[in-house]
Structure formats: C-alpha cells, structure tokens
Amino acid sequence: MRPSGRKLSDMRPISIETGVMRHAEGSCLISCGHTRVLCSATIEDKAPPFLKGSGQGWVTAEYGMLPRATNSRNRREAASGKQSGRTQEIQRLIGRSLRAGVDRRALGERQIVIDCDVIQADGGTRCASITGGWVALRLAVNKLLTAGVISSDPIMDHVAAVSCGIYAGQPIVDLDYAEDSEAGTDGNFIMTGAGRLIEVQMSAEGATFSRPEMNQLLDLAEAGIAELVLAQKEAIV
C-alpha cells in the first residue's frame, strides 16, 4: 500500500556515521532512507548575553538545505538576504528539542551550536536533524567531559524525532516525500529515550483526524523513536 512497499509500522533504513567533519567538536551524517543530513556541533566558551551570570549554558541550532537537496534547484537563502519562515521555524524546533534533554546548569556558561545541513531531502528532514543533532551534541559533550572542562554530564537523555501520518486512510510511520505530499494528516513527534514527549506537531493537511487515530500515530511514533534511539546508541559506542 505504501509507495516504498514498507509495512505501516516500518521505518526507513537508518544509518548514522560519526566523525565526518574534522574540525567540529561533534559531527555525524544521518541517513533515513534517502534523506541525508550533515550535523555538526560547535562549542563556544561563552553563553548568549541574556544568560550572562546565570551559571547556565545554551544549546541552539541552525538549519539549511543545499540547493540540489530536492528534485529541482532551490535558491540559496543567503542569495535572497534572509531566511525563509520555514527555515526559522525548523531551526527553533531543533534547538528547543535538544535543550529539553540537557541540564543547562551542568553545561555551565557556554553555548553549543548544532548545524544541520540537508544534503538530500526525501521527507522528514527536521526529524532527521533532531535525531542526528543529538548525536553531534553527545559527541561534543563527551569531549568536554574527557577534558575535565565540566564535571557532570549535562545530557539527561536521548532526544529523537519521527514523522507519522495518515496516508490513504491508514496510519503510517516515517513518511518519505511521496507519502508526505499526499498524507491527509501529518505529524512530527519528538521524544526522549524514556518515551517522554517533548513536542508534537499535528495538522490536518487534507482531512481531519480522530482521537483514536492520533493515539495510533503516537504508538507508531514511540516504536519508531525506540529504533532511532538504538541507532544513536550504536553510533556513539
């Protein structure tokens, strides 16, 4: 029933390759099917001005899509002189999702910037960015711990994200572009490794959805995120 031939509950193949950028404190290339995102973490020795003297750190994110990440060329946002509303919304989502899994006081007054660059898009780029961004963040924090810069681990839990939706009347997990573009209902679920919800984005793209259908999507998301967390653990061993 699905264009890819997957079962309703089947995730796309997941791959996370770490250490792909020489100079970044943490980096990975995450592939979810044909969607591929390059994620890097940069440690800055001071927190943003609004946190000065607070004893707390910050995690923020930037997101971008290369011109030929899709089937037609997109103009670079730098060429237009401003980011699109979509880009701003996605990078804010990535930042606040990752912050939910961090004890910012244990991080100390420093900032970690997560850069997520989509090199190939086939649906679920924001979810892949969150999942891969957490791996880059984890690797960067490991360096701080190893160097003795911080004394306790500020990362409280894994953070991962997956899309779910209703396609051709059926609830499915991890939508690719063909499914996402035709889904009657589309949602993004961000959770911790313990299964606690960080954020849920749900919208009726073409048809309204019921409470039981939303529960089905949540069940699919929980199972999908468990797979993503396992992939994260295998990547950082």
Residues annotated within a binding site for phosphate = 86, 124-126
Tokens representing 19?
């250490």
Whole-number Å distance between alpha carbons of 26 and 176? 27
Rounded to a whole number, what is the largest CA-CA distance in the chain?
Answer: 56
Phi, psi for residue 88 in degrees, rounded to 5? -65, -40
| Cα 100-204-30 angle, rounded to 5 deg | 45
Residues annotated within the binding site are 86, 124-126
Whole-number Å distance between alpha carbons of 89 and 86? 5
Whole-number Å distance between alpha carbons of 58 and 205? 34
User: Under a CB-based contact definition with an 8 Å cutoff, are residues 170 and 200 in contact?
Assistant: no
What H or E segment, with its residue span, contains residue 97? helix 85-99
Residues in the chain: 237
Whole-number Å distance between alpha carbons of 214 and 116? 29
Whole-number Å distance between alpha carbons of 174 and 30? 14
CA 159 and chain centroid, separation? 8
